[in-house]
Structure 1
Amino acid sequence: MKLLFLAPLSPQTGNHTTADRIRSHIESAGHTCELRDAGEFQSPADVANLVSQDPPFEGVLAIHLFKAGRLLLDVQIPFGLIFGGTDINEDVKDEQKRVVMKQVLLRARFAVAFTEKLKEEAELFLVSQSAKIYVQPQGVQTEVTEEFCWTEFLHSSGVRNKCVDKLRVFLLVCGLRRVKDPLYLVEVFSDWHCKNLLNILVIIGPKIDPVLTAEVEAAVSRTTGVFLAQERSQPELHAAMKRCFALVNSSVSEGMSGAILEAMDLRVPVLARDIPGNAAVVQHEANGLLYSSPQVTTYRICAPISK
């Protein structure tokens, strides 16, 4: 079977990682899967022309109900959808986008939500029946490089401590964009660092939003105990995650955080912002900690550390 796979493919984002993993799975099953960036296309007509080429595509799969789904309204072949997270959590609040997403979902053969909560939100805002929406949690595979040097990683990020093994490094893994809210915990972690110099926060991820990137760089330069690391390959990132004290998530919205799943796979403690996407994965005080405000963050951390 020849499939077209549309997704927002900004480098090193969750949607890109998920799309690569699904494409690999489809191809390993013996099908042909052409992965394309939704940003390449200007209109539904562009995609309709692509799928009708010779030999024609037999089906389409898309991640993100608005960014990719809106491009499928003119195709005459079956298509399925995977909710991206921001489509259901954020884009649905925009009336014009919601109208388009309703049309797309009504035409789709099926839709996949990574969590029950995401399915419930989709049913509430977009469609009254749930027959075509299936819940399928994500799976991840981690790969840790043996050539990774923890000391070099921290020193290159601006950490000046000579004995880095004593540090409690909290790692915030996210692309620098508004929905990830990387500045949310900067002040509280800096204050905490001033009280105990062993506690530091390292932010790492691709610089997607230039304006926000400049804000993060400025915030890091004027605060102590908070550092911005250069983007690393996936195996190097997993190696850094494995060495850190805990993984931190500060997102405003998540479908299902790949970084949280990867940390769990690596048996690294998780501290996540209490939003529906995170709460669907992290059970508070069972497999991680949830926090509702920056001030609650240090309380959540200090309690188990002090025991």
Structure 2
Amino acid sequence: MVKVALISPFTLPDYCGNSILTDRLKRNLTQYGYQVALFNTQKDLPEQAKEFSPDIVHSFNAERTGAWMEKFQHQFSAPWVITLTGTDYASWCGEKEPPSLVRQSLENAGALIVFHNQIATSLASCLPQLKSKIHIIPQGVAVFKEKTDRNTIRCQYGLDQKDIVFLMVGGIRPVKNIPFAINAFQEIEKAFPKVILLHVGPVIDQAEADRVFYWGKNTSCFHWLGGLPHQEVRKLMRATDIFLNTSFHEGMSGAILEAMAEGLPILASRVGGNLALVQEGKNGFTFSPTDLPTLIKRGIELAQNFTLRKQMGRISQMLARKNHSEKQELWLHEQIYLKLLGGVCLTKKGK
């Protein structure tokens, strides 16, 4: 049995891209016969991973896991895969040299995974010596089978059936650009008083949280629900109307993917990872993360147009099912693992 150690800076119950991705991979790899251990770099020690004695080590976010992995490598040697998730390359890729520890990690790894072609091209251009190690694996998204009634969920959260609810999901930190969204909704609320802006996610950066809550207390339509269990977030998505992402950059937002799977139209910042998911005018709209007038305009348009929301939501769901299956995601990961190890594939290629 192949033993895989997944190393992540965040794990459930904290809802963020890394935690959702690693939980999904652990579940699916285990289902197909792998022995998988998931380690949180903020809570677990490298010695614990050493005791697990993995055949493959797979870390997520080269920057946040770099120091932990450096300690681990001093104690244990195994083929290493890194998934670059967004914040670990956005500040330097295509513009300057990476931080020394990130560069060291990328050079030492046997394989590098990115979510879409744009970052693969940019990374290969920035660090051409790594080109042969770069693999593109679009994120998958789980099908959520629990079907709680939409009205019941709304009642649970104190939402009126006539409210038009925009949902944001993710930890509170500067890259998520949440005050920008709150400022926009001060204007959207004037044009459409029944609008609600919900945010779900834990505080990751306290200074940014202070900014968010300062602006939020002066915006009556803004409500912060804190961190919620993953399944509860998926239920809440089903009871809302539009999914909003205002990030300055994204690798590939797992929250957007889950919202698409739940049939929501997407209103998202025009950055690389979001553009890999949102087809302009088809399953949503995009805007520059500093363009307040466009966000306000598109927010009002979606709030007022039920038919457009439903049409875009259907396309979102179709795209999620067509392009982001869990089985395909798992099969592509397995090809990388087995290339580094040599072995027989346990799964069948999925669509």
Q: Is the CA contact 1:69–1:81 (under 8 Å) kept in the aligned structure 2? A: no
Q: Which residue of 2 aligns with 1:194?
A: 190
Residues 142 and 218 (structure 1), Cα distance of their counterparts in 2 relative to 1, 3 Å cut: farther
Q: Could you tell me how far 1:212 is from its partner in structure 2? A: 2.1
Q: Could you tell me how far 1:168 is from its partner in structure 2? A: 1.2
User: 1: distance between equivalents of 2:106 and 2:85?
Assistant: 13
Amino acid at match of 1:299: K
RMSD, aligned α-carbons = 2.5
User: 2: distance between equivalents of 1:12 and 1:283?
Assistant: 25
Q: Which residue of 2 aligns with 1:146?
A: 148
Deviation above 4 Å: which 4+ runs of structure 1?
Answer: 49-53, 91-97
Q: Could you tell me how far 1:137 is from its partner in structure 2? A: 0.3
Q: Could you tell me how far 1:249 is from its partner in structure 2? A: 0.3
Amino acid at match of 2:183: E
User: 2: distance between equivalents of 1:50 and 1:202?
Assistant: 38
Residues 126 and 102 (structure 1), Cα distance of their counterparts in 2 relative to 1, 3 Å cut: farther
User: 2: distance between equivalents of 1:9 and 1:63?
Assistant: 9
1:23 aligns with 2:23: no
What is the count of residue pairs matched by the alignment?
293
**282, 298, 301: which one pairs with 1:300?**
298
Amino acid at match of 1:20: D
User: 1: distance between equivalents of 2:192 and 2:224?
Assistant: 19
1:9 is paired with a residue of what secondary structure? Answer: coil
Q: Is the CA contact 2:185–2:219 (under 8 Å) kept in the aligned structure 1? A: no
Structure 2's unaligned 5+ residue stretches are 309-351
Which stretch shifts more, 263-272 or 205-214? Answer: 205-214
Q: Which residue of 2 aligns with 1:60?
A: 57
Q: Could you tell me how far 1:127 is from its partner in structure 2? A: 3.6
**208, 213, 226: which one pairs with 2:204?**
208
Q: Could you tell me how far 1:90 is from its partner in structure 2? A: 2.6
State TM-score, norm by structure 2: 0.76
User: 2: distance between equivalents of 1:281 and 1:249?
Assistant: 12
User: 2: distance between equivalents of 1:51 and 1:165?
Assistant: 49
Residues 123 and 224 (structure 1), Cα distance of their counterparts in 2 relative to 1, 3 Å cut: same
**249, 252, 260: which one pairs with 1:253?**
249
Aligned runs of 1:93-112 on 2, under 5 Å?
Answer: 98-112=99-113
Residues 56 and 207 (structure 1), Cα distance of their counterparts in 2 relative to 1, 3 Å cut: closer
Aligned runs of 1:1-307 on 2, under 5 Å?
Answer: 1-9=2-10, 11-40=14-43, 47=46, 53=51, 56-70=53-67, 71-72=69-70, 73-74=73-74, 75-90=76-91, 98-143=99-144, 144=146, 146=148, 148-154=152-158, 164-292=160-288, 293-303=291-301, 305=304
Q: Is the CA contact 1:167–1:198 (under 8 Å) kept in the aligned structure 2? A: yes
Residues 243 and 149 (structure 1), Cα distance of their counterparts in 2 relative to 1, 3 Å cut: closer
Q: Could you tell me how far 1:62 is from its partner in structure 2? A: 0.8
